Structures are given as C-alpha cells and as structure tokens.
Amino acid sequence: MPTSADYSFEIAATAHSDVEEVLFSAADIAMRVAQLGAAITRDYAALDADELTVVGVANGALIFTADLLRRINLRTRFDTVRVSSYLDGTSPSAAPQFRSTVHLNLAGRHVLIVDDILDTGRTLSQLHSALLEHRPASLRTCVLLDKKSRRQTPFEAAYTGFDIPDAFVVGYGMDFAERYRNLPFVGVLRADRQVAGD
Ligand code: 5GP
Ligand code: MG
C-alpha cells in the first residue's frame, strides 16, 4: 500500500532539465505559504474583518492562490482578474493588459490581491488603483516573490513570500510562454530555453 509520503512533490519532481537552479523547493514554498496564511488570518482577525475577499491575478498566481486560500482561516470570497504583461517573452510589455475585471462587489469589503511576482510594479500599482475605485474597506496585496531591484513604479506588498534577485523564474504557476506552470518548485529558467516558440 502506498503511503501519503509517496505522493510528496519532493519525490515526484526535484528538478527539470530546462531549469538551471531551484530557488525554492515545494517544501520551502509550503512552509512560507503556511506562514503567510497565518499572518493574514491574524491581521484580519485583529481588524475584526468578518470576511476577506481574495482577488487572484490569473494565470500566474493561480497555484499560489489555491494554496494560500487553504491557509487562511477566515470566511473568504474568491474572484480572479486576468492580466497579461509578458506576451511570449521574458520582458514585460510596456503596459499590462487587463483582460477581465472582478465580478464580486468590493464596496465596503476587505480585499486582498494575490499575485505571483512583484517586478517593475506596473501591474500591481495599476490593479491597486483600479480596485480602489470600487471603494473597498481595505485593500492590501500579497505576492509570493518580490524582485525589488527591478522596480520602476513604486509599490510595496503588505505580504511577501520571498525576495529574489533579478532572474527569470518559472514553476509553481509561473510560466514562460504558458509552459512550466506545473513545476512544484520555483526555479531559474535556463537562458537557452528563453526563446519564443509556439
Ligand atoms: P510587473 O508589472 O511588476 O513588472 O510584472 C509583474 C508580472 O510579470 C508578474 O505578475 C508576472 O506575471 C510577470 N513576471 C515578472 N517577473 C517574472 C518572472 O521572473 N517569471 C515569470 N514567469 N513571470 C514574471
Ligand atoms: Mg502575473
């Protein structure tokens, strides 16, 4: 009979030939996500927030958001927005494209935006301004990764998983040309794999 340990991501996948370095293993991520969930739970409970509305930024933040939601011990509502900034490459296009908007009513609600990476800051500063127009009771942001050295638009997240240097990363929901999202770890993509394909 297999045991639950046999289904550990660590055993299933520790590396991938297109990844030059694993920055955070599945276990590293699980630990940090649990800590973020505990901090969010504690902070909003202290605010007496009766419910938290989580807005995940698709596609990149979907896996992070799925795991984080299960570590938040509050009543929650969940919605997504779709934003794309990198069409097929590894440098962001000038302006993030908002491809969908929230469906939930955010007025008077405590809202937490969840995204994968804070890079130049353009996406989150624009999304933050757009959601403020809904007049939420509070609006904060949680990101898994922060590349502080790349910031062009000032923006800080209330909750950050890990600070990382300027490198193009994939895995745990993050892609290159829609690939590698399924890797259970976060790793640096080999430079010779950062070429546009179909
Ligand atoms: P910003 O608007 O802050 O420059 O861009 C943030 C978005 O760019 C992130 O939500 C993410 O989708 C994408 N991004 C930034 N850096 C990386 C990276 O290293 N790898 C991947 N896969 N996406 C990134
Ligand atoms: Mg994104």
Q: How large is the average pLDDT for residues 157-162?
A: 98
On the CB side of 55, CA atoms within 13 Å amount to 26
Give the pLDDT confidence score for residue 90 in this predicted structure. 67
pLDDT digits (tens, 9 = 90+) for 166-185: 999 999 999 999 999 999 99
Backbone angles phi, psi at 92, to 5 degrees: -65, 145
Q: Does domain 27-164 have CATH number 3.40.50.2020?
A: yes
Q: Report CA(118)–ligand 2 centroid distance (Å).
A: 8
Q: What is the pTM of this model?
A: 0.92
Q: Of all atoms in ligand 1, which is nearest to the CA of residue 84? A: 12
User: Is residue 198 very low, low, confident or very high in pLDDT (cuts 50, 70, 90)?
Assistant: low
55-69, 82-96, 175-189: the lowest-pLDDT one: 82-96
Judged against a pLDDT cut of 60, whether residue 13 lies above it is answered with no
84 CA to centre of ligand 2 in angstroms = 6
Half-sphere exposure of 187 (CA within 13 A, CB side): 23
Per-residue pLDDT, 62 = 96
Question: What is the C-alpha to C-alpha distance for residues 189 and 28, in angstroms, rounded to an integer?
Answer: 19
In this prediction, residues 53-64 reach a mean pLDDT of 97
- Mean pLDDT for all residues in the chain: 91
Residue range 101-119, pLDDT digits in tens: 899 999 999 999 999 999 9
Secondary structure of residue 147 in the 3-state scheme: coil
Beta strand extents in 100-175 (DSSP E only): 110-118, 138-146, 159-163, 169-170
Q: Where are the domains of the chain?
A: 27-164
Give ligand 1 pocket residues (Cβ under 6 A). 60, 85-86, 92, 96, 115-124, 168-170, 174-176
The residues near 68 (Cβ < 8 Å, ≥ 6 apart) are 33, 36, 37, 40, 54, 114, 142
